[in-house]
Amino acid sequence: MKIKILIALGIGVVLSACYSQQSGRSAAVSATFTAPDWGEQKWKDVPENPLIDPAGYGLPELVIGDPQILTPGEFDKQWHAFYHGFSHDEKGWHTWFFHSVSDDGLRWKEVFREEGEVGIQYLFSDGDRWIQYYTATTKAIGNTELKKKYGTIIRARTTTDFIHWSEPVDLVMPDLPKEREGSGIEARNPCVIQLPDGRYRMYYSAGMVFLKDAGYGEPKYIFCAEADNPLGPFIKKEEPVLAPDTSLPYRNYGCGGFKVFGYKDGYVAFYNPIYIDKEEKSRSEIRMLTSNDGLQWQEAECNPIVRPVLSIPWRSAIIYQLDVVPWDGSLLMYFNAREGWRGGEERIGAVRLNLNGETPVVKLRKPFNKK
């Protein structure tokens, strides 16, 4: 039985700009942000890669990606991986949401799958519930008007057990001019953090660029919106916080997806900018950004973090979205990558960075408390 959500709308005037008071994190944020030196030479492929392969799922032309990971102690004693997928058969395209568990974070067993509207998603612990912010495929929602206007929107639903889910709430529609640019009208790739003043900021992708050699679209811009309540209403900042730049060879086409973490008294983001390389092939790699306020972002000097490598077939063409979790003195970065372009295969794997006592990144959310 689905649980109905009671939405507490914030009282007072909600600012239209994505502005937050950072004093809750530290008395005074330094004017300069010292980025961690976490370049690609420090991240090592785990020997078990790729960790999750769509082969054997029994779904034709299945690709999977955008993992979200819970480590032991966050929910129960197991590791949990949540990810989405698309499959294709004679009836057309199908959208899937998957849940797998593991004893070690490396060997995974599927425990749940759901066909429907839930695509790329982000898990946020909010006290005694989990909020799943997700990219909703409008074709699967059943709302004719939404299907006419948008390809995807961002919705949210809640759970306490990852079995029973609330009714979804609509949060972001791609209505701004730049959100509607390109090959499709989509809002996708949500990432939500709690700000020092207690409010909530959602980063999301919108606007599209088309990858001719792969045959599909990828995000052009990164936007943000803020709310007093984690279930909205979210008020958008009208201009993107990140845009493609033809002068940057690694971001000359699009911005991909965007995941934000706390690091010391500032913010770190890992993202996968979209670019066209010298051979006119579409590419993407994982890079790191830093910020004092989460709005003005700078490329880290240690970039890139993870690039396509021809000698590693499963991640030889395009590298996509990710999650980062601290574990046993290290950081584990899980991501999906593509082997080949049109008709290529996508799998989920991980790289590990030994922290050697350095400060890890943290997810900016309320710890989950079981009742």
Give Cβ neighbours of residue 85 (< 8 Å, ≥ 6 apart).
Answer: 54, 57, 59, 62, 63, 64, 65, 95, 96, 98
What single letter denotes the amino acid at residue 38? W
pLDDT of the residue at 61 = 95
Q: What is the pLDDT of residues 342-354, one digit of tens each?
A: 999 999 999 999 9
Q: Are the C-beta atoms of 42 and 351 separated by less than 8 Å? A: no
Question: What value does the mean pLDDT take over residues 315-322?
Answer: 98
pLDDT level of residue 32 (50, 70, 90 thresholds): low
Distance CA 327, CA 354 (A): 10
Q: What is the pLDDT of residues 281-293, one digit of tens each?
A: 999 999 999 999 9
Q: What is the pLDDT of residues 33-76, one digit of tens each?
A: 688 999 999 999 999 999 999 998 999 999 999 999 999 999 99
pLDDT of the residue at 268 = 97
pLDDT level of residue 200 (50, 70, 90 thresholds): very high
Give 254's DSSP letter: B
Structure tokens at 134: 């997700």
What domains are there in the chain, each with its CATH number? 40-354 (2.115.10.20)
Distance CA 297, CA 16 (A): 20
Question: What value does the mean pLDDT take over residues 92-104?
Answer: 97
Flag whether pLDDT at 2 surpasses 70.
no
Give 105's DSSP letter: S
pTM confidence score: 0.91
Flag whether pLDDT at 13 surpasses 60.
no
DSSP 106-140: SSEEEEEEEESSEEEEEEEE-SSSEEEEEEEEHHH
Lowest mean pLDDT among 14-18, 160-164, 185-189, 200-204: 14-18
Mean pLDDT of all residues belonging to the chain? 92
Flag whether pLDDT at 142 surpasses 90.
no
Give Cβ neighbours of residue 84 (< 8 Å, ≥ 6 apart).
Answer: 64, 65, 66, 95, 96, 97, 98, 118, 119, 120, 121, 134, 135
Flag whether pLDDT at 29 surpasses 60.
no
pLDDT level of residue 31 (50, 70, 90 thresholds): low
